[in-house]
Structure 1
Amino acid sequence: MRTSPPTTRVLQVLDHLVAAGGRRFGLSQLARELDLSKPTCLGILTAMTDGGYLLRDPVTKTYGLGPALITAGRVAQEGFTAAGLARPLLEELAERYSCVCSASAVVGDQIVVLERTGPGVAGQRYPFAPPVGLMYVLWGPDAEFERWLAKPPTLPVKLNRGRLRQVVAECRERGYLVESLTLAGVRLHSLLAGVAAYELPAEVRDLVGQMVSNLGERFYLAEDLAPRKKQPVNFIAAPTFNATGAQELVLTLSVGTTITGAEIARRGQALTDVAAKVTASVGG
């Protein structure tokens, strides 16, 4: 696949400013943090400012996001009505459990976070290929699950297909997925956020691959979720469906600690209730 280095540099600047959550940057700081030459960085900033995508403060000579992005964002969001409807419900859930909740979906060949409560911003992207993405095909047709499973993995990963299919069957019946909390899993998501993992140096991919456990073992089965048994949980995920019955969004509720099976069930039911409301609101 051909890429355009100049376009990549523009996206670098835009992603950096979005991730900064409203902070403003001077030319020298941006060039240094993005490893760009000052002339190259200045050319990008000037063009984006002229187009209204950035604003330059004439006093501090710093750059921030501009009004043209508001229009672009509104148009883009119209294609993801369910995510907007999910936000107030996720905010209530986040307040109840003092956690971060999100709504995400597959857009093209990437997973995109469309809504997020708490720290951080929406817009994070992840490659849609093993070991990331099971929950986006879990509640869909078996053919979609098989297509995802057949994708070249972004990182080396063991595939215990028997256990993975058991996870799929149980989660379809239960209505939600529970991922275990491991340092490797947390670091994996941090690495893959906004990164083209296929382009990582081979030695880095192999090293990270060694951190990742068997894909099926990252998720709990019913036997692991006895009411009094405690388990370290990263997050719980549940699907919403559109008017055609296809899986549309994945809603997640972060946990990040050890809780009992009974508490997992309570939070899982609360999340599936929110997902059901979102589904109903879009005629799903």
Structure 2
Amino acid sequence: MTVAESAGRASPPTARVVAILNFLAGHPQEHFGLSELARRVGLSKPTCLGILTTLAQAGYVIRDAQHKTYRLGPALISLGHTAQESMRVSPGARDELRRLSETFNATAALSGVVDDRITLLELVSPPGTPVTVQVGQSYPFAPPVGLMFVLWDDRAVKEWLAKEPTIPLRTDSERLDRVIAECRTSGYLVERLTPGGRRLYALMAGMSSTLPDELRALLGELISDIGERVYLPSDEPLARRADNSESDADTVDISVIAAPVFDHHQRQVMVASLQIGRALSDAEITRHARGLCATADVLTAQLGGSKPTAAAITRQCAGHTGSGADDEAWR
């Protein structure tokens, strides 16, 4: 983000500080001299120097006196931990995700809905795994993205479906109802996407609702119905016959497995997930899902939370009065 892009904001001086921090955060392994940094963020050298001097005094950046370069500073570590704690991400959450990642040699993540955007709260990847997303990255919480964040709350499902979709959608209500019922029974969601679909969703991360109508329509043709991407074992025999696939009949290409994390109100507040990105057998899916659910249960316990029963989920929809207290508890 350059300063020119953010000039319409209420506080241009603050936007300049944000531009510098965002740029350094986007290049965590690099050091930058004053001239290059000023050029890259679109600031004059005197303005950039003044900001960097103040940030260095506060510990938000470090100045290498020998090479006269700048990089992010240690004060941001404490700030980041405090931000995570304010979103109820406990210090032990990373340890749990690390164990999960090591067990299955896959990226483990914890996400939540913050200010109506799905936000990555914590992430642990196996050594050598390319980093394609960063903690704090967010994207719109609106259909077709976000089903796993509402599956276990009937009211949340209805509110999510009522949002304006990021792209035109077709929704098979009968299919979606079955997805919700079976995922609640198993305790987790398994989603499969084609490689093209995964790339498309990555591109959608920063999209707004102001896309040209023709492009929105095209994206709508490329994205399946809500719930269609969810893998249900009861569907698979039919899918295999339709594909006429014999060599891959025992495995399914899986994108992600997700499980809910609940608070003390038995409301889903986060999602723990395993990024798979390869074919798994039914037995492997079950093994991965059980390990993930065990981690989600530990994270729920760290919040002092508990899982809702099936009856409680039904009451959440039938008995919700829309009171301010309930809404605050859910948020």
TM-score of the superposed pair, with normalisation by structure 1: 0.84
Distance in 1, matches of 2:15 and 2:235, equals 44
1:100 deviation in Å?
A: 0.5
Distance in 1, matches of 2:157 and 2:294, equals 24
Percent identity, please: 42
Which of residues 129, 133, 141 in structure 1 aligns to 2:142?
A: 129
Which of residues 83, 97, 108 in structure 1 aligns to 2:104?
A: 97
1:69 deviation in Å?
A: 2.0
Which of residues 117, 127, 150 in structure 1 aligns to 2:162?
A: 150
Distance in 1, matches of 2:135 and 2:303, equals 21
Structure 1 contact 102–252 (Cα < 8 Å) conserved? yes
Structure 1 contact 83–115 (Cα < 8 Å) conserved? no
Distance in 2, matches of 1:148 and 1:48, equals 42
1:24 deviation in Å?
A: 2.8
1:244 is aligned to 2:257: no
Distance in 2, matches of 1:110 and 1:69, equals 23
Distance in 2, matches of 1:178 and 1:50, equals 48
Letter in 2 for 1:259: L
Could you tell which deviates more after superposition, 204-213 or 117-126? 204-213
Which of residues 75, 83, 86 in structure 2 aligns to 1:79?
A: 86
Letter in 1 for 2:92: L
Distance in 2, matches of 1:149 and 1:48, equals 45
Structure 1 contact 99–253 (Cα < 8 Å) conserved? yes
Structure 2 contact 62–71 (Cα < 8 Å) conserved? yes
Distance in 1, matches of 2:37 and 2:176, equals 44
Aligned length: 276
Which of residues 171, 189, 193 in structure 2 aligns to 1:159?
A: 171
DSSP 3-state at the match of 2:272: strand
Which of residues 215, 221, 225 in structure 2 aligns to 1:210?
A: 221
Q: Give the structure 2 partner of residue 276 of structure 1.
A: 297
Q: Give the structure 2 partner of residue 172 of structure 1.
A: 184
Could you tell which deviates more after superposition, 101-110 or 81-90? 81-90
Q: Which runs of 5+ in 2 are unaligned?
A: 1-7, 238-248, 306-331
1:199 deviation in Å?
A: 4.7
Distance in 2, matches of 1:159 and 1:8, equals 40
1:29 deviation in Å?
A: 5.1
Distance in 2, matches of 1:276 and 1:15, equals 34
Letter in 2 for 1:171: C
Distance in 1, matches of 2:197 and 2:233, equals 21
Letter in 1 for 2:300: T
Q: How does 1:172-211 map to 2 (within 5 A)?
A: 172-193=184-205, 195-200=206-211, 204-211=215-222
1:157 deviation in Å?
A: 2.9
Structure 2 contact 28–71 (Cα < 8 Å) conserved? no
C-alpha change, 1:202 and 1:11, in structure 2 (3 Å) is: farther
Q: Which runs of 5+ in 1 are unaligned?
A: none
C-alpha change, 1:203 and 1:81, in structure 2 (3 Å) is: same
Distance in 1, matches of 2:67 and 2:186, equals 55
Distance in 1, matches of 2:212 and 2:219, equals 11
Could you tell which deviates more after superposition, 237-246 or 206-215? 206-215
Structure 1 contact 83–104 (Cα < 8 Å) conserved? no
Once the two structures are superposed, residues 71-126 of structure 1 have per-residue CA deviations (whole angstroms, 9 ceiling, x without a partner) of 32232122234453322122111111111000111111111111100253321111
Distance in 1, matches of 2:15 and 2:197, equals 28
Q: How does 1:106-125 map to 2 (within 5 A)?
A: 106-118=113-125, 119=129, 120=131, 121-125=134-138
Structure 1 contact 170–222 (Cα < 8 Å) conserved? no
C-alpha change, 1:61 and 1:22, in structure 2 (3 Å) is: same
Once the two structures are superposed, residues 33-83 of structure 1 have per-residue CA deviations (whole angstroms, 9 ceiling, x without a partner) of 6xx5342x8735742551333334344343322344233223212223445
C-alpha change, 1:161 and 1:19, in structure 2 (3 Å) is: farther
1:11 deviation in Å?
A: 4.0
C-alpha change, 1:54 and 1:161, in structure 2 (3 Å) is: farther
Structure with higher Rg: it is 2
Structure 2 contact 143–166 (Cα < 8 Å) conserved? yes
Q: Give the structure 1 partner of residue 275 of structure 2.
A: 254
Distance in 1, matches of 2:179 and 2:275, equals 19
Could you tell which deviates more after superposition, 51-60 or 262-271? 51-60
The Cα RMSD (Å) is 2.8
DSSP 3-state at the match of 2:227: helix
Q: Give the structure 2 partner of residue 37 of structure 1.
A: 42
1:239 deviation in Å?
A: 0.6
Once the two structures are superposed, residues 185-209 of structure 1 have per-residue CA deviations (whole angstroms, 9 ceiling, x without a partner) of 311332233x243355555544444
